[in-house]
Chain A
Amino acid sequence: MIFNSLPFFIFIAVFLPLYFALKGKARLLLCLAGSYFFYGWWDYRFLSLIVISTLIDYLVGLKLDNTDDFDQRKKLLLTSMVINLGFLAFFKYFNFFIESFTSMAESMGVTPSWNTLHIILPVGISFYTFQSMSYTIDVYFRKIDVEKDFLRFATFISFFPQLVAGPIVRAIDFLPQFKKDRQFEWDRLIAGSGQMLWGFFKKVAIADSLAPFVDQCFAAPGGFSSLHLTIGVIFYSFQIYCDFSGYSDIAIGLARVMGFDFPDNFKTPYFSKNFSEFWTRWHISLSSWLRDYLYIPLGGNRGGGFGSIFFTCLFLLLSIVMTGWWWLLILYAVVAFAMNNWMKKDNKNKTTVFNYMNLSITMLLGGLWHGASWAFVVWGFLHGLYLVVQRLAGPYWNSLLDRLKIPNMLQNGIAIFIVYVCTCFAWIYFRAPDFDIANQVIAGIGSLEGFSFGTVVNKFIVMKGFILIFMLVGVEILDFKFKFYKVAIQSPAFRIVSFACLLWLISFFGSFGANSFIYFQF
């Protein structure tokens, strides 16, 4: 079931009154049944995966609570991770690995007879798997108490507002909230509805209006002018932002109406002045998950060890296999030798190198989390590269700007622009169906052939798209600079006018084809 569809509105109209009418266990049971119904509406067969993940992590949690034996605890954690990641690997990455290994074997002159399978990707598997794993890891490290109430735990894993596309809410933040019976609160209804309306506006009015133009650009980029393709990429950057943050807004708003508080998942990411800041503003629940459960365990900015070396070697090897450029092996060996010598000179150098390795690994795996495709790996690689380059060149860049005596405001503007352009460049690989198309888009933009508005096809969609983007950016600037929304929402008159405006805008600009959310595929 998707938020922007009639079945969802009927579902919620029935669910919410019942939810507030019930209390205690009955309410939890309703929540769980509602969540399974919500998910099963798409494909009930895959409910079994959620149930198995839930059961495994619940039992592992109980066992972890009952033992202090280090080895046994480790085995339990490993069991949970193998099963959870096993499901993810099979449903999401099986064909990808088969194809990659086939390609590797072929590049060695062997033709294997491995076949790919027709596997349906269960919606939201990456989200609930990470949510479930975070619980077990936190219990293992004794950061949270074990949840003994199965009903409560199962509801935490499958809570429908954020089940299929996040935000990924950690057990430490979410589970305690189930312990209190929530009363209906008028203020929560208003605030939650406002956020949902804003989310619907972003999804049905902006993202879905930009989608046809973007689809056309990435279907056959060869036929379009440089400016047309540039607009296509700009539109995609806003399409994916509005699509995903719109979903998050609806999920967070709905949870708020139900009495739960979720952390923000997006905070005006395109106003970021550097890439580290970007990742504290874009898909915050995933980036903080990766930071806490991958980057820091790898060593973070304090150094590294086996994990850092293992993943780095793995990715380097895969890059050789996928490109078929065996000479890269010599290049990597030379670089590794030089690095090793440099690291030996000073321990600080060693920390720096490991830090960059950890950053790159985190971003590469973050890219791979999105989907089983090398395009996502390239997207992650680019973001890893941006972060490394930023750390290397940042001090020189800042001193250059200071030397040129560029005013702060202009400095910020330049920084925001550079981050935005680099982000858009990475989006090309994220969106393109294959590398060939991505390269065609980049070549088309770079050619500057036909960089005039006359060459743009579908000018009305472009006009509508830019009107909507300006509205969004305008509201976000007000919110970013002056915390506009939080202040204004206090006034009842403003609330009425703003809600009515959103309804009018959705009615006038919205696309009502019940288009799916982009992040459902992840």
Chain B
Amino acid sequence: MKKIYWILALVALAFIGDRLGGLILKKAAEASQFRYSRLYNGSASAEILLVGNSRGLIFYQPYIEEITGKNTFNTSYNGMPIDLSRVFVDDYLQKYPKVEKMILDITMCDRINDQLIAGFNFYTPYSKRLSKLIEEKQETMYYGAQFSHLFRYNGEIFLRSLKYTVGGDDEDWLTDRVMNDYITQNVVKEAPYSLNYKNRNDKADTDSLYILDQLALLVANAKSKEIEVHLVINPYYPPFADKIINLDSMKMDVEKLTGLKVKDYSKAVTDPKAYSDYQHLNKYGSRLYLDLLKKDGIL
């Protein structure tokens, strides 16, 4: 009989600790200055909405705000897939109606990333769209998070949010890192690079069809709210951009599907010192690029 009590005590303690821990972490996430926490806690109002993956993080917000005098909100995240981005954009537009402009880097349409989606599990209490997406894409993780509340906070994304609970704002993700000589010189040795995207005409490529449909829905929703939508291709290190074999076909498909012109800045920044790697500008490079966007009237 004693043994049954022992098991019951263990189950009770594990359950109570899980719920209590979950509650504490929930409060920490809500108090965070992390962009998605701000999105859902009501403190993310902005006129310019920025959308992308890690390459979208080069929209250096302090500088945009300096040159435009407008508030910005960036939904970008490393490896962000378009379906998850669509959830955040739709949630954002529903919650914050004063958005005037949306700038989206279309190279984020190069991947499905269901693994990342599950990392946002801890925001499901605030978004039905997010809950639905995670349930669809990562069923086990979704139900795991219902079973264990601590599990909801399992992942790098929550740790990031915790950083912004402790202090600091979330508008400066860019580094000053510059590519070293090894990387700069080795670009010639790189094999031709293919974005993980084929062609809309390839009906067998269901991933690309899905991605483009998600993009079309995202853009259509923004346009329906009379938001000025700009689709761009953010810069790559030009010798690397030359290696990408399917950027043009992606661009054409996106233009056909959305009815919007895509502005191609893929080779617009040529200085090697402007890059932290082949695909990402550094802080200095971002300023050069944003000046170009301002000059072209996109910002």
Give the segment of B63-71, B145-153, B226-234 that binds chain A. B145-153
> Across the interface, do A496 and B10 meet the contact criterion of CB distance under 8 Å?
yes
> Across the interface, do A460 and B159 meet the contact criterion of CB distance under 8 Å?
yes
Residue B277 interfacial (CB < 8 Å): yes
Residue B21 interfacial (CB < 8 Å): yes
Q: Cβ of A509: which chain B residues have Cβ within 8 Å of it?
A: 154
Interface string of B157-197 (1 = CB under 8 A from A): 00110010000000000010100101100100000000000
Residue B156 interfacial (CB < 8 Å): yes
> Across the interface, do A508 and B180 meet the contact criterion of CB distance under 8 Å?
no
Q: How large is the interface on A (under 10, 10 to 19, 20 to 34, 35 or more residues)?
A: 20 to 34
Q: Cβ of B140: which chain A residues have Cβ within 8 Å of it?
A: 512
Candidates A449, A463, A512; contact of B159 at CB < 8 Å: A463
Closest to B186 in A: A222
Please report the C-alpha to C-alpha distance between residue A503 and residue B144 in the assembled complex, in whole angstroms: 13
Please report the C-alpha to C-alpha distance between residue A455 and residue B183 in the assembled complex, in whole angstroms: 15
> Across the interface, do A507 and B156 meet the contact criterion of CB distance under 8 Å?
no
Q: A507 with B180: in contact, given A496-B10, A499-B10, A512-B144 (CB under 8 Å)? A: no
Please report the C-alpha to C-alpha distance between residue A132 and residue B186 in the assembled complex, in whole angstroms: 50
Interface string of A276-306 (1 = CB under 8 A from B): 0000000000000000000000000000000
Residue B257 interfacial (CB < 8 Å): no
> Across the interface, do A461 and B156 meet the contact criterion of CB distance under 8 Å?
yes
Residue B14 interfacial (CB < 8 Å): yes
Q: Cβ of B141: which chain A residues have Cβ within 8 Å of it?
A: 512
Residue B256 interfacial (CB < 8 Å): no
Please report the C-alpha to C-alpha distance between residue A186 and residue B21 in the assembled complex, in whole angstroms: 30
Residue A492 interfacial (CB < 8 Å): yes
Please report the C-alpha to C-alpha distance between residue A21 and residue B160 in the assembled complex, in whole angstroms: 50
Residue A366 interfacial (CB < 8 Å): no
Residue B97 interfacial (CB < 8 Å): no
> Across the interface, do A223 and B182 meet the contact criterion of CB distance under 8 Å?
yes
Please report the C-alpha to C-alpha distance between residue A507 and residue B15 in the assembled complex, in whole angstroms: 12
> Across the interface, do A500 and B156 meet the contact criterion of CB distance under 8 Å?
no
Q: Cβ of A497: which chain B residues have Cβ within 8 Å of it?
A: 13
Residue A510 interfacial (CB < 8 Å): yes
> Across the interface, do A460 and B160 meet the contact criterion of CB distance under 8 Å?
yes
Main secondary structure of the interface of A (DSSP, over half): helix
Q: A449 with B13: in contact, given A186-B3, A507-B18 (CB under 8 Å)? A: no
> Across the interface, do B151 and A223 meet the contact criterion of CB distance under 8 Å?
no
Q: Cβ of B17: which chain A residues have Cβ within 8 Å of it?
A: 500, 504
Nearest chain A CB to B225 CB, angstrom units: 34
> Across the interface, do A510 and B182 meet the contact criterion of CB distance under 8 Å?
no
> Across the interface, do B159 and A223 meet the contact criterion of CB distance under 8 Å?
no
Q: Cβ of A454: which chain B residues have Cβ within 8 Å of it?
A: 175, 177
Nearest chain B CB to A339 CB, angstrom units: 43
Of residues 458 to 474 in A, which have CB atoms within 8 Å of B's CB atoms?
Answer: 460-461, 463-464
Residue B9 interfacial (CB < 8 Å): yes
Candidates B144, B150, B163; contact of A504 at CB < 8 Å: B150
Closest to A212 in B: B156
> Across the interface, do B156 and A504 meet the contact criterion of CB distance under 8 Å?
no
Q: Cβ of B13: which chain A residues have Cβ within 8 Å of it?
A: 496-497, 500
Q: A464 with B10: in contact, given A500-B17, A504-B17, A507-B18 (CB under 8 Å)? A: no
Q: A500 with B10: in contact, given A464-B156, A507-B148, A509-B154 (CB under 8 Å)? A: yes
Candidates A464, A504, A510, A512; contact of B21 at CB < 8 Å: A504
> Across the interface, do B21 and A503 meet the contact criterion of CB distance under 8 Å?
no
Q: A460 with B156: in contact, given A223-B277, A496-B6, A500-B17 (CB under 8 Å)? A: yes
Closest to B157 in A: A460
Candidates A186, A455, A507; contact of B151 at CB < 8 Å: A507
Please report the C-alpha to C-alpha distance between residue A499 and residue B153 in the assembled complex, in whole angstroms: 20
Closest to A497 in B: B13
> Across the interface, do B154 and A504 meet the contact criterion of CB distance under 8 Å?
no
Closest to A505 in B: B150
Nearest chain B CB to A294 CB, angstrom units: 43
Closest to B153 in A: A508
Candidates B9, B148, B154, B186; contact of A496 at CB < 8 Å: B9
Interface string of A134-160 (1 = CB under 8 A from B): 000000000000000000000000000
Closest to B141 in A: A512
Please report the C-alpha to C-alpha distance between residue A512 and residue B150 in the assembled complex, in whole angstroms: 14
Nearest chain A CB to B6 CB, angstrom units: 6
Please report the C-alpha to C-alpha distance between residue A464 and residue B160 in the assembled complex, in whole angstroms: 11
Candidates A222, A492, A508; contact of B150 at CB < 8 Å: A508
Of residues 218 to 274 in A, which have CB atoms within 8 Å of B's CB atoms?
Answer: 222-223
Q: Cβ of A504: which chain B residues have Cβ within 8 Å of it?
A: 14, 17-18, 21, 150
Nearest chain A CB to B56 CB, angstrom units: 18
Q: Cβ of B21: which chain A residues have Cβ within 8 Å of it?
A: 504, 508
Nearest chain B CB to A198 CB, angstrom units: 15
Nearest chain B CB to A468 CB, angstrom units: 12
Q: Cβ of A507: which chain B residues have Cβ within 8 Å of it?
A: 18, 148, 150-151, 154
Q: Cβ of B6: which chain A residues have Cβ within 8 Å of it?
A: 492, 495-496
Of residues 14 to 70 in B, which have CB atoms within 8 Å of A's CB atoms?
Answer: 14, 17-18, 21
Please report the C-alpha to C-alpha distance between residue A222 and residue B187 in the assembled complex, in whole angstroms: 12
Closest to B10 in A: A496
Of residues 434 to 474 in A, which have CB atoms within 8 Å of B's CB atoms?
Answer: 449-450, 454-455, 460-461, 463-464
Which of B21, B150, B153, B183 has the most C-beta atoms of chain A within 10 angstroms of its own C-beta?
Answer: B150
Closest to B176 in A: A454
Q: Cβ of B10: which chain A residues have Cβ within 8 Å of it?
A: 496, 499-500
Q: Cβ of B144: which chain A residues have Cβ within 8 Å of it?
A: 512
Nearest chain A CB to B121 CB, angstrom units: 12
Closest to B5 in A: A492
Nearest chain B CB to A12 CB, angstrom units: 17
Please report the C-alpha to C-alpha distance between residue A223 and residue B177 in the assembled complex, in whole angstroms: 12
> Across the interface, do A449 and B180 meet the contact criterion of CB distance under 8 Å?
yes
> Across the interface, do B14 and A464 meet the contact criterion of CB distance under 8 Å?
no
Nearest chain A CB to B131 CB, angstrom units: 19
Q: Cβ of A223: which chain B residues have Cβ within 8 Å of it?
A: 180, 182-183, 277
Nearest chain B CB to A213 CB, angstrom units: 11
Please report the C-alpha to C-alpha distance between residue A262 and residue B183 in the assembled complex, in whole angstroms: 50
Q: Cβ of B18: which chain A residues have Cβ within 8 Å of it?
A: 503-504, 507
Candidates A449, A503, A508, A512; contact of B14 at CB < 8 Å: A503
Please report the C-alpha to C-alpha distance between residue A449 and residue B181 in the assembled complex, in whole angstroms: 12
Of residues 69 to 116 in A, which have CB atoms within 8 Å of B's CB atoms?
Answer: none
Nearest chain A CB to B2 CB, angstrom units: 9
Q: Besides A496-B10, A508-B21, 19 other CB < 8 A contacts?
A: A223-B180, A460-B159, A461-B156, A464-B159, A496-B6, A496-B13, A497-B13, A500-B13, A500-B17, A503-B14, A504-B14, A504-B18, A504-B150, A507-B18, A507-B151, A508-B151, A508-B153, A510-B154, A512-B144
5 A-B pairs with CB atoms under 8 Å apart are A449-B180, A460-B163, A464-B156, A503-B14, A507-B151
B: residues with CB less than 8 A from A are: 3, 6, 9-10, 13-14, 17-18, 21, 140-141, 144, 148, 150-151, 153-154, 156, 159-160, 163, 175, 177, 180, 182-183, 186, 277
- The list of the 10 closest CB pairs from A to B, nearest first, reads A507-B150, A500-B13, A500-B14, A507-B151, A507-B148, A508-B150, A460-B159, A460-B156, A496-B10, A503-B14
